[in-house]
């Protein structure tokens, strides 16, 4: 018996903390804005895309960010405001879909499987994105595919403020040209280990025998191979406010 097609969307608010600050102060648009730290102490919690052009990243020491971009504007941030906007987006999604998972303050998975019996899943997902943008003023990107892994990677390629939809059966066509560091959970150490054995692209990873990967990475080797083939059985976990507080 053929299993029904799954439709999983991954939504991610773009540079969320910074986007909220831009709503509060539109004069900051187009400028290198950093939330977190003061240029001397602290850690970068978020940065605008203009700041990223200088090589600034989240979790970077504020002092290092200041060296990369002396003209950067540092903001302490307002976590009460971020929570408020996160709840706004959560309420919009909760009112629109049967099953969703809030992966973080600015990231959501939505299971639309079966809804294609009633309307076009792609059109519905696009309309949900537009609703979030129009009601909150926040830019948001999404990826749509058959599973959480591919959808998250599609979102990352669609950013900023875009969307990317991967047809069923086209997972490897999308994934294989990408570099291995694009795979979620592949950190610097794994990246260096892969490069050391001549693996730079996801296609090269996918075509490497599982036994060879397990020799280098243990059980993680098979997982890497599966990710390279766009294989993921992870379910969208239902979300509730009570669960999020536990």
Catalytic choice (107, 203, 214, 235): 107
Indicate where the chain has its CATH 3.40.1170.60 domain(s).
Answer: 16-75
**135 catalytically annotated:** no
In CATH terms, is domain 8-14+85-169 a member of 3.30.70.270?
A: yes
Residue-level pLDDT at 4: 65
Architecture of domain 16-75: 3-Layer(aba) Sandwich (3.40)
Residue-level pLDDT at 241: 53
pTM above the 0.85 mark?
yes
Indicate where the chain has its CATH 3.30.70.270 domain(s).
Answer: 8-14+85-169
Residue-level pLDDT at 115: 78
Which CATH number is associated with domain 173-228?
1.10.150.20
Residue-level pLDDT at 37: 83
Give the neighbor-by-neighbor strand order of the sheet with 99-104.
Answer: 99-104, 107-111, 8-13, 140-145, 163-165
Indicate where the chain has its CATH 1.10.150.20 domain(s).
Answer: 173-228
In the chain (246 residues long), the average pLDDT of successive 10-residue segments reads 77 98 97 91 95 95 96 94 98 95 97 81 96 98 98 98 96 98 94 96 98 95 97 84 41
SS (H, E, C) the chain: CCCCCCCEEEEEECCHHHHHHHHHCHHHCCCCEEECCCCCCCECCEECHHHHCCCCCCCCEHHHHHHHCCCCEEECCCHHHHHHHHHHHHHHHHCCCCEEEEEECCEEEEECCCHHHCCCHHHHHHHHHHHHHHHHCCCEEEEEECCHHHHHHHHHHHCCCCEEECCCCCHHHHHCCCEHHHCCCCCHHHHHHHHHCCCCEHHHHHCCCHHHHHHHHCCHHHHHHHHHCCCCCCCCCCCCHHHHHC
Residue-level pLDDT at 245: 35
């Amino acid at each position: 018996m053929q299993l029904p097609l799954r439709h999983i969307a991954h939504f991610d608010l773009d540079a969320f903390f910074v986007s909220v600050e831009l709503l509060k102060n539109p004069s900051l648009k187009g400028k290198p804005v950093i939330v977190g730290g003061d240029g001397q102490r602290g850690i970068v919690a978020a940065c605008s895309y203009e700041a990223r052009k200088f090589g600034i990243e989240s979790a970077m020491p504020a002092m290092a960010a200041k060296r990369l971009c002396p003209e950067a504007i540092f903001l302490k941030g307002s976590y009460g405001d971020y929570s408020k906007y996160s709840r706004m987006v959560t309420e919009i999604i909760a009112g629109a879909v049967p099953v969703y998972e809030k992966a973080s303050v600015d990231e959501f998975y939505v299971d639309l499987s079966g809804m294609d019996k009633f309307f076009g899943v792609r059109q519905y997902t696009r309309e949900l994105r537009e609703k979030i943008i129009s009601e909150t003023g926040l830019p948001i990107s999404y990826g749509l595919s058959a599973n959480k892994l591919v959808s998250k990677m599609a979102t990352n390629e669609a950013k900023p403020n875009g969307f990317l939809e991967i047809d069923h059966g086209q997972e490897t066509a999308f994934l294989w040209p990408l570099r291995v560091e694009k795979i979620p959970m592949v950190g610097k150490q794994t990246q260096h280990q892969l490069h050391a054995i001549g693996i730079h692209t996801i296609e090269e990873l996918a075509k490497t025998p599982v036994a060879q990967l397990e020799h280098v990475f243990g059980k993680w080797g098979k997982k890497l191979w599966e990710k390279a083939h766009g294989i993921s059985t992870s379910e969208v976990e239902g979300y509730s406010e009570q669960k999020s507080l536990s």
